Amino acid sequence: MSFTRRAALLAAMAAPTWRPTLARAADWPTKPVRLVVPFTPAGPVDTIARLMAPKLEAMWGQPVVIENRPGGGGNVGALAVARSAPDGHTLLLCASSHAINPGMYRSMPFDTAKDFAPCCLLTAGAFILVVHPSIPARTVAEFITYAKARPGTLNYSSAGNGTGNHLAAELFKQMAGIEMVHIPFGGAAPATTAVISGQAPIMFNNMISAMQHMPDGRMFGLGVTTPGRARALPQVPAIAETLPGFDVSAWYGLLAPAGTPPAVVAEVDRAATAAMADAVVQERVTSLGLELAPMGPERFSSFIGTEMVKWARVVQAAKAQVD
């Protein structure tokens, strides 16, 4: 089942008519809630955090303080949360790289499966294969032909080793039978700048960045990574239309430290899902090329496990593991 269909099914299952009402943890929160964003400002994770935080503050009656802690493909911020008190006052807004990293890094500073309490999946969307105007390809098929004629000479950028756009490119290379050189950057913003400048003229960009730069011709979008076309860019084909079975989603969710009381986890799930369903937030999320994909703690935990297995295989095939 594709992520889009799966997300639609889970959204229906998570609707108020099905989901039992969760009682709020009576003694929580008692102080400001720290929301750790393990990436640089202005990227998709940071944007989602800043959309959601005011809604959570209104529901919880406490400040929600966003703390950007980039590094290690998200591991630096994740480690800070794993080491925090399991009282719900420190949360991690993670990206799909959280499930990639265990297969990507030979040594992890925490146990992804054991050191966190998954609260909820929030939203998901496509990456988009973009190229600098100097690349003479305007379709996925043309790009594959162009790359096959230049094995190992094309540079592609990413937000860092083990990030979702890095592994999307590695999966694409494997399925298309091409070779490209990975140039990692310290976040989505500098990686996008590298595409615009032509330094690394290819990227599986997030929709937020790509939609800012495609209209003026500074980059061209060739295909999205989800099985179907993205609602925000219906004119851009899905890569799966050329490479059947290609399916990569950028997803974002909330985690707490392991040992956080179940009642607090349930309240984070309830409040965050409600915040994302707010009409204003939902409109903004859609404009960023994302779709709501509500998923509660148990299902989110299972989903993370499935993603870990998938990406470990891609990393192994690409021999992309790093120290």
Beta strands in 30-170 (DSSP E): 33-37, 64-68, 90-95, 116-125, 127-131, 155-158
Angle between helix axes 164-176 and 297-318 (nearest 10 degrees) is 50
**Model confidence, pTM:** 0.80
**pLDDT-based confidence at residue 25 (cuts at 50, 70, 90):** low
Is the pLDDT at 109 greater than 90, yes or no?
Answer: yes
Burial class (CB in 10 A: 0-12, 13-18, 19+), 272: buried
CATH architecture label of 3-125+250-318: 3-Layer(aba) Sandwich (3.40)
Is the pLDDT at 274 greater than 90, yes or no?
Answer: yes
Q: What is the pLDDT of residues 51-89, one digit of tens each?
A: 999 999 999 999 999 999 998 888 999 999 999 999 999
Q: Is 96 left (phi over 0), alpha (psi -120 to 50) or beta?
A: alpha
CATH number, domain 127-241: 3.40.190.10
The residues spanned by each domain of the chain are 3-125+250-318, 127-241
